[in-house]
Each structure stands twice: as structure tokens, then as C-alpha cells.
């Protein structure tokens, strides 16, 4: 007899597993685990801003490379073919205005350079005095990254508080006190989405829920009430909400800036 246990739900990407083992004889969903007290409930905050897409205009400055006039650049293009610094800075400001500074947080970015950029922006706008408040943990960060991850997983340590990553922390990370999962890149599949969200479900004393900050509409795209259940709370942060919360936190708010375009990088936006 062969027994297979898997933490990922049945999907077409996983079809070979089911072709070999047959249909599951028992299914225990995320909502079951939450209801039985083995997993932490979740909240969802969807963030929508006016920089969620972009069309080049003549007053935008191209720093490097070429931009296609009239092309609508959307989320999959950001931080891959075009880089907009103000786009990333605004998202970081919104995030920091909504989370508590001491809450352990994992931020999922488009790639390793994007993870480095978000790390630097968080450390630029943070209220903490620690230079390692936010660090990057990716495959290229080697032993230093592994040490950062080990310190992050240690519940007796508060620094580092925020990790930025691209793919490395999607699976296999047991950090029980993660309070926030931040999505700054499109998610490619429902399995990857559930693996990422799983980073926040561990139980910890005093942890009543964790919050998904969704800048890319992944929660809507991969909505699966039968498996996940309903969030304990779900809200949308609009442009006006974002401006108000940033001003409340005394952070400089970046208005619509001109775009500085770089080849194979997202725009580097400066204020007009």
C-alpha cells in the first residue's frame, strides 16, 4: 500500500499525482483547520491605486531603453520590463501606514532586484531605528540570508521584522509569528497562491489572525471559499484611503509623478 499526503489542493498542475494515487480518500481544507483551531484565520486588504497601470506620455523621461508608445503596461510588466520608482514607493508607504511596526511580515516581490528595491524603500520609510529592520532573503543571499531567516523565525527576536523575497520563502518556512503576507507580484497558479498564504497560518500566542495585503488582486483571482473559507474581514484600500492613512502617519505622499523608463526594468518615478 502506498499513502500520499499533500498540502496542496487538487489542480491541473498536480494532475499526475492524482492520476497515480486516484481521488483523495480524505480532504482536510484550510477552512477545516481554522474551524478546528489548528490554523490561524485571515483578513484580506486589497489595495487599488492610480499607478496600477501605465501608458507612456511625452512628458515622461526615459532613463534607459525604449518604451512602446500607446502600450498599456500592467502588473505583469512592472519590475520586469518597466520600473516605476514612485509606483513602488507609494506601495511601501501604504503598507507601512497600515501595519504595526513590530509585526513580522513577509513581502513577495517580482524578482530578486525588486526584493532589494522594496527592502531599501521599507528601510527608508520605516520608523524603526534598526538598520536590519527589513532584509532580503533570496536564493542569492547565501549564508547571510539564511541567518536573517533563522533570526526572523526566532520568536524571541524582533529584528529582522520584515523579509522581502521573490520565490525562496513560498514554501518550507515555519515562522509561527508572521502577522502579514504582502503580495507585490502576480501569482502564477492557485497552488503557489495557497503555498504563499500558508506562511501566515501558523498558530502563535496572541495571534488572532494574519492579514494578506494584496496589491495584485490575487485573492480575488484565486478566490476559493470551499477550501479557504471566508476571511474574518475583507476591505479595499482606495487611492483616497491610501492618501489619508499616509498623511496620518506623517509620511511624504507621492503624487502622480513623471516616469523614468529603463530597459528591462520597471520605471523609476520621480515627483513632478
Average pLDDT, the chain: 80
Contacting residues for 40 by C-beta, under 8 A, at least 6 apart:
34, 200, 201, 202, 203, 204, 207, 208, 209, 210
pLDDT above 60 for 30: yes
CATH 3.40.50.300 is held by the domain 40-266: yes
pTM of the predicted structure, to 2 decimals: 0.82
Q: Sketch the domain layout of the chain as residue ranges.
A: 40-266
pLDDT above 70 for 193: yes
β-bridge pairing 72-73 and 54-55:
antiparallel
pLDDT above 90 for 233: no
- Structure confidence by residue, pLDDT tens digits, 35-80: 888 989 999 999 988 777 888 887 777 777 777 888 888 888 888 8
- Structure confidence by residue, pLDDT tens digits, 150-168: 999 999 999 999 999 988 7
Q: Estimate the share of the chain in helix, then strand, then coil, as percent rounded to the nearest 5.
A: 35, 20, 45
Q: Which residue has the higher pLDDT, 31 or 171?
A: 31
Q: What's the pLDDT score for residue 214? A: 93
In angstroms, the CA 9 to CA 108 distance is 21
If we measure between CA atoms, which residue out of 33, 31, 43, 40 comes closest to residue 226?
31
How much is the average pLDDT of 221-242? Answer: 74
Contacting residues for 177 by C-beta, under 8 A, at least 6 apart:
104, 155, 202, 204, 207
Amino acid at each position: 500500500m502506498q499513502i500520499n499526503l499533500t498540502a496542496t489542493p487538487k489542480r491541473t498542475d498536480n494532475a499526475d499525482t492524482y492520476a497515480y494515487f486516484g481521488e483523495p480518500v480524505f480532504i482536510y481544507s484550510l477552512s477545516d483547520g481554522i474551524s478546528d483551531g489548528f490554523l490561524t484565520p485571515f483578513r484580506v486588504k486589497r489595495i487599488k491605486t492610480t499607478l496600477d497601470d501605465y501608458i507612456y506620455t511625452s512628458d515622461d523621461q526615459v532613463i534607459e531603453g525604449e518604451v512602446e508608445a500607446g502600450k498599456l503596461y500592467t502588473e505583469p510588466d512592472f519590475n520586469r520590463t518597466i520600473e516605476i520608482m514612485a509606483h513602488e514607493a507609494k506601495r511601501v508607504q501604504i503598507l507601512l501606514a497600515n501595519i504595526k511596526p513590530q509585526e513580522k511580515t513577509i513581502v513577495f516581490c517580482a524578482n530578486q532586484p525588486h526584493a532589494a528595491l522594496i527592502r531599501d524603500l521599507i528601510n527608508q520609510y520605516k520608523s524603526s531605528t534598526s538598520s536590519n529592520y527589513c532584509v532580503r532573503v533570496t536564493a542569492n543571499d547565501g549564508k547571510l540570508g539564511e541567518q536573517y531567516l533563522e533570526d526572523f523565525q526566532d520568536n524571541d527576536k524582533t529584528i529582522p521584522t520584515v523579509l522581502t523575497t521573490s520565490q525562496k520563502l513560498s514554501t518550507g518556512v515555519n515562522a509561527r509569528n508572521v502577522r502579514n503576507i504582502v503580495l507585490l507580484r502576480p501569482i502564477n497558479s492557485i497552488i503557489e497562491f495557497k503555498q504563499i498564504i500558508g506562511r501566515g497560518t501558523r498558530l502563535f500566542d496572541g495571534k488572532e489572525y494574519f492579514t494578506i495585503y494584496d496589491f495584485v488582486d490575487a485573492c480575488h483571482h484565486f478566490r476559493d471559499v470551499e477550501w479557504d473559507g471566508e476571511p474574518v474581514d475583507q476591505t479595499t484600500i482606495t487611492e483616497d484611503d491610501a492618501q489619508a492613512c499616509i498623511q496620518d502617519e506623517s509620511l511624504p505622499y507621492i503624487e502622480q509623478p513623471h516616469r523614468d523608463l529603463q530597459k528591462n526594468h520597471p520605471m523609476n518615478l520621480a515627483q513632478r
